């Protein structure tokens, strides 16, 4: 493993990614590029023309005319989405820059007004008689847009009148969207004191992976102190987001807080309930693993800040160039086309990896628009988990690039399958590294890291889903919630997962308050568990079928969101409608824990 730096090597704090920033000029030259207003104004004008030509006529259109309408609609959306993507990416790189925030707000407001102009089309499509829809579906002229029309029409009973829809879209700009941005900016600007230095939250959280227990304990205490300082603000944001969601669900007649998310994910409530039930019923796997981890660390008691402590053989650093080679080599072994696409992100500066003040925390891959290409944001600090994050986001990027052939309306997948390529990318890298490692001690260290990632992706995300369920329910039944109530519900749902294997102190109660998914995408988190267990099944299939599977897998990615998730994965030998499906993936996770126990005996 000569592609790593041992801890303590010269300049250990350098990651090699200090100068790795993205080039957004494929979108616009700068925040004051005149083309931004030109595209916004052009989209507005085209929307007005569309309204004049088609309002009140859509249900009567034949298939050829409908295809022409949808192609025009898609082009308008793409033109505006290009501006919105640039404004968001530009802001994400420095959330504290006032000019960038102002541009994001301006494009958000313009995007809302454009949506209001175009909402008539969506309402008329949804309200069209079934006979008209069936005629469209039967005509090859509409085949490309069929699934998008199907998904749009599923919302018929939840859509309001056009004036009402316009009001909701207008008020969301200064309501839900504003709270979301405020949360990100407050937490992005926050600094946490550690060893006399001011660090970002992500820099501090990375110290939970330090081999020195005192460092981990001090880092956890600093995170807790920082989150408690922000708790009044964060609690206010959460309460308003929860109330806003309850209001939307009531107005749109959704029976539960998560129904809208399940519909957007194109998955039945029964499938989601089966997933949640399966995962929570196997929390014993988590407890079994962390009891092993406690023994491996030779600790009498395992605290929350000990969960990610590396075994000595895992205490390595991966400079940026090494991480790039590791991921691309693993991708190439699976399929050369996958590595070819992933390499573009490095060559063409589609990645922003440097840790910078004010930069948005965490990581994401933004699909932008099919006519451009995705961009990836990560905060790279050369830890093993950063390599896996790079593999994860490049999986998203490859998926988004391949799915671009479907066009803007059908390129994006629902969240249930959106995490498939990313988690599969992580699995490819992990298995590749494991195959090249012969030292049982190093293999054990790598395996425990993978199990911890899988526990975080499958079990912890479902525990967070249970927390979401608890806070949405409590907010609707009890009114505004104090910080202490959020803390209590967080600890309850986390303790249910860990059992007696990890000691969670009251200090850990505030750690719900930095997770952005609860704010920006309520109900999102179960998709991670969905993707993790799906990938375990897919990888088992790959081990059986080899190259034949790889070709079918890339076809699945290229399908994007052009069909129902269960149909898209069916050619890969997976049946998502089988409610016992999730037990197979959980069985594989249990097998990894058994393998770790066996390696622990050898090492």
Q: In this structure, are residues 181 and 120 in contact, taking their beta carbons and an 8 Å threshold?
A: no
Output the CA angle 89-94-96, nearest 5 degrees: 130
pLDDT given at position 9: 36
pLDDT in tens, 272-306: 999 999 999 999 999 999 999 999 999 999 999 99
User: For residue 444, how many other CB atoms are within 10 A of its CB?
Assistant: 24
Nearest CA to 207 out of 216, 195, 217, 198 is that of 216
For residues 562, 567, 569 and 574, what is the CA-based torsion angle, rounded to 10 degrees? Answer: 170
Q: Which two tokens stand for residue 6?
A: 């041992």
Q: Which two tokens stand for residue 325?
A: 């080679």
pLDDT given at position 480: 97
pLDDT given at position 7: 35
Residues of the chain with pLDDT under 70: 1-12, 313-315, 603
Q: Which two tokens stand for residue 176?
A: 């839900």
**pTM, entire model:** 0.85
Pairwise CA distance, residues 271 & 283, whole Å: 19
pLDDT given at position 183: 94
Q: Which residue has the tokens 């929350």?
A: 304
pLDDT given at position 576: 84
The set of residues, in sequence order, having a beta carbon less than 8 Å from that of 46 and lying 6+ positions away, is 72, 75, 76, 79
Pairwise CA distance, residues 39 & 452, whole Å: 46
Nearest CA to 313 out of 402, 424, 444 is that of 444
Domains parsed from the chain with CATH numbers: 31-174 (1.20.140.70)
pLDDT given at position 603: 66
Q: In this structure, are residues 497 and 459 in contact, taking their beta carbons and an 8 Å threshold?
A: yes
Pairwise CA distance, residues 206 & 355, whole Å: 12
Q: In this structure, are residues 93 and 356 in contact, taking their beta carbons and an 8 Å threshold?
A: yes
pLDDT given at position 551: 92
pLDDT given at position 11: 43
Nearest CA to 239 out of 568, 474, 11 is that of 474
Pairwise CA distance, residues 245 & 265, whole Å: 17
């Amino acid at each position: 493993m000569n592609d790593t730096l041992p801890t303590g090597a010269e300049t250990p704090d350098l990651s090699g990614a200090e100068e790795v920033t993205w080039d957004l000029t494929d979108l616009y030259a700068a925040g004051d590029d005149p083309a931004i207003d030109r595209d916004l104004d052009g989209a507005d004008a085209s929307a007005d023309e569309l309204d004049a030509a088609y309002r009140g006529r859509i249900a009567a259109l034949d298939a050829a005319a409908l295809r022409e309408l949808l192609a025009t609609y898609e082009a308008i959306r793409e033109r505006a989405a290009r501006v919105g993507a640039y404004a968001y990416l530009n802001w994400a790189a420095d959330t504290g820059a006032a000019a960038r925030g102002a541009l994001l707000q301006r494009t958000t407001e313009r995007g809302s007004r454009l949506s209001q102009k175009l909402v008539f089309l969506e309402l008329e499509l949804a309200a069209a008689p079934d006979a008209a829809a069936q005629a469209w579906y039967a005509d090859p002229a509409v085949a490309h847009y069929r699934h998008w029309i199907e998904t749009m029409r599923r919302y018929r009973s939840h859509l309001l009148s056009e004036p009402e829809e316009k009001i909701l879209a207008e008020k969301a700009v200064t309501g839900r969207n504003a709270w979301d941005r405020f949360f990100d900016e407050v937490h992005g600007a926050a600094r946490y004191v550690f060893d006399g230095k001011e660090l970002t939250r992500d820099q501090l959280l990375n110290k939970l992976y330090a081999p020195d227990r005192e460092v981990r304990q001090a880092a956890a205490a600093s995170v807790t102190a920082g989150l408690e300082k922000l708790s009044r603000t964060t609690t206010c944001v959460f309460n308003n987001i929860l109330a806003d969601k309850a209001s939307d669900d009531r107005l749109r007649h959704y029976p539960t807080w998560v129904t809208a998310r399940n519909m957007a994910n194109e998955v039945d409530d029964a499938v989601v309930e089966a997933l949640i039930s399966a995962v929570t019923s196997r929390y014993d796997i988590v407890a079994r693993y962390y009891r092993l981890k406690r023994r491996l660390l030779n600790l009498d008691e395992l605290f929350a800040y000990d969960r990610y402590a590396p075994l000595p053989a895992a205490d390595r650093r991966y400079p940026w160039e090494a991480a790039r080679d590791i991921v691309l080599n693993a991708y190439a072994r699976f399929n050369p086309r996958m590595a070819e696409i992933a390499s573009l992100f490095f060559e063409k500066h589609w990645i922003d990896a440097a840790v910078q003040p004010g930069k948005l925390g965490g990581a994401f891959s933004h699909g932008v628009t099919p006519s451009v290409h995705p961009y990836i944001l990560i905060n790279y600090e050369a830890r093993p988990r950063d390599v896996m994050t790079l593999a994860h986001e490049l999986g998203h990027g490859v998926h988004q690039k391949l799915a671009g052939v479907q066009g803007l309306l059908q390129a994006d997948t629902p969240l249930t399958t959106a995490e498939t390529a990313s988690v599969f990318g992580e699995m490819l890298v992990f298995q590749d590294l494991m195959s090249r490692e012969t030292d049982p001690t190093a293999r054990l260290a790598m395996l425990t890291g993978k199990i911890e990632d899988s526990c975080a992706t499958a079990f912890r995300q479902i525990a967070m889903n249970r927390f979401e369920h608890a806070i949405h329910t409590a907010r609707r039944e009890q009114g505004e919630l104090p910080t202490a109530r959020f803390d209590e519900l967080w600890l309850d749902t986390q303790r249910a997962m860990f059992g007696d294997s990890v000691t969670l102190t009251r200090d850990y109660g505030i750690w719900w308050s930095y997770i952005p998914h609860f704010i920006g995408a309520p109900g999102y988190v179960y998709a991670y568990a969905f993707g993790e267990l799906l990938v375990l099944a897919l990888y088992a299939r790959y081990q059986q079928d080899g190259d034949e599977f790889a070709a079918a897998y890339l076809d699945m990615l290229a399908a994007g969101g052009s069909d129902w998730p269960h149909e898209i994965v069916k050619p890969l030998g997976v049946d998502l409608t089988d409610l016992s499906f999730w037990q197979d993936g959980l069985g594989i996770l249990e097998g990894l824990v058994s393998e770790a126990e066996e390696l622990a005996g050898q090492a």
